[in-house]
A and B are shown apart, each in its own frame.
Chain A
C-alpha cells in the first residue's frame, strides 16, 4: 500500500513537499517513482529513486526544481517541489517499481503498485 500526502494549492514560484508512506512490502529493496497526470491528460513519469537512495533521476521538465528522496527507516519517499509552475498542476502518484515479476526480468521495471494520488494545484 502506498499513501501520499502533502498535496494542495500553491502559487506559481512556490514550493510543496509530497510524502508517500509505504507498507506491505520490503520498501528498502525497491526503486520508487513519481508519476503525474495533469487534468484530463495522460501519464508522465517525473522522477525515480533507487532502493538505497543513492541514485535519482528526473524528467527534463522538472530537473533542477524537484528533488526526490527517501527514508528507509520510515518506509517513506518524498518529492520536494520548488519553483512550481502552472503547468505542474497534476495528480502526483507514488509508484513502486518491480524489475522482476514472477521470475520474469522486467528491464527498466514495471509500476506494480500505485498510491491513490496527491493533487497539486499551482495557480495565482
Chain B
C-alpha cells in the first residue's frame, strides 16, 4: 500500500500570508493526488484534483503542483476562512490513502 506523509503537521500563519504544505508519497503516483480542506465539525471538501486541477468554486489563491512522489498545496493571501486542516490523498493505487493532515492555524 502507498503511504502518504505531509509536512508540516501544523502551521501558524497570518491573514495575507502565503503558505505551502507538502505531501509525499512512498512511491510514484503520477499526478493522482487530491487535496481536501476540513473545518472543525464539518466534512472534508475537495479543493484540488490530479495535483493541480482547481475545483469550480475554489478560490484561485489555492494552487497545487507536483508529480511523481512530491506535491505541494500553496495558499496565497490567506483569508480567515482558510484556517482549517488540509489532507492530501492518492488515488493512483488502491486502496486510496490519505496523508495525516496539516492543521493551519491563525498566528
- A-to-B contact residues, CB < 8 Å: 42-45, 57, 59, 93, 101-102, 104, 106-112, 114-117
The winner among A104, A109, A111, A117 for most chain B CB atoms within 10 A is A111
- A101 lies within 8 A of B49 (CB): yes
- A117 lies within 8 A of B49 (CB): no
Q: List 7 A-B contacts (CB under 8 A).
A: A43-B87, A43-B89, A101-B50, A108-B92, A111-B36, A112-B49, A117-B43
In the complex, what distance in Å separates the CA atom of A60 from the CA atom of B15? 41
Q: What is the total number of residues of chain B having a CB less than 8 Å from a CB of chain A?
A: 28
The winner among B43, B53, B90, B100 for most chain A CB atoms within 10 A is B43
Kindly identify which residue among B34, B49, B98 contacts A42, using a CB–CB cutoff of 8 Å. B98
Nearest-CB residue, chain B, relative to A109: B91
- B96 lies within 8 A of A104 (CB): no
In the complex, what distance in Å separates the CA atom of A94 from the CA atom of B45? 13
- B-to-A contact residues, CB < 8 Å: 30, 32, 34, 36, 38, 43-46, 49-50, 53, 55-56, 87, 89-101
Known: A57-B94, A117-B43. 13 other contacts (CB 8 A): A42-B99, A43-B98, A57-B95, A93-B43, A101-B49, A104-B49, A104-B50, A106-B50, A107-B30, A108-B94, A108-B96, A111-B36, A112-B55
Kindly identify which residue among A42, A44, A57, A107 contacts B91, using a CB–CB cutoff of 8 Å. A107
